[in-house]
Amino acid sequence: MKSYVKPSLKELGLLRVVTKFSTCPDGEVRFEGNCVNPAPCWIAAVVFDENFFTGPRVNLVRNWLVNDFEPSGPGARFVMHLYRIYGERVAKVVEKSSILKRGFRKLFDNALAKAQAKYNTL
């Protein structure tokens, strides 16, 4: 069995969106001079038990979701649209349920594996 190697980011992508201070309206951040909605990953933060802003797995999944999954088609864009609207509320429910946490963990482990393969962090 392969030994665990702590993931590291080689590309930050839209991580800057969620970590940069801004003078934008509530719920938005400044990115390249424009106000945009921040990239989500509330559920990933809960299932990986990491900080929303600084968790290495959370940021890797966030980068993959926004830069690779979301542009892949209309279904993916719809899922990400729903995640931006409801993800934070769903994460609060998931945090309180070990059953939901296990289910979402499988989903986000799959996203993490794809992100690690894409960004060569294995």
Question: What Rg do the C-alpha atoms of the chain give, in angstroms?
Answer: 14
Tell me the whole-structure pTM to 2 decimals. Answer: 0.69
Other C-beta atoms closer than 10 Å to the C-beta of 120 total: 9
Long-range contacts (CB closer than 8 Å, 24 or more residues apart) made by 85-93: 87/40, 87/41, 87/42, 87/43, 88/40, 88/42, 90/42, 90/43, 91/42, 91/43, 91/45, 91/46
Domain boundaries, the chain: 40-118
Q: What is the pLDDT of residue 43?
A: 96
Rounded to whole angstroms, the Cα distance separating 110 from 115 reads: 9
Mean pLDDT by 10 residues, the chain (122 residues): 64 48 54 64 95 88 91 92 90 96 96 92 72
Q: What is the pLDDT of residue 29?
A: 54
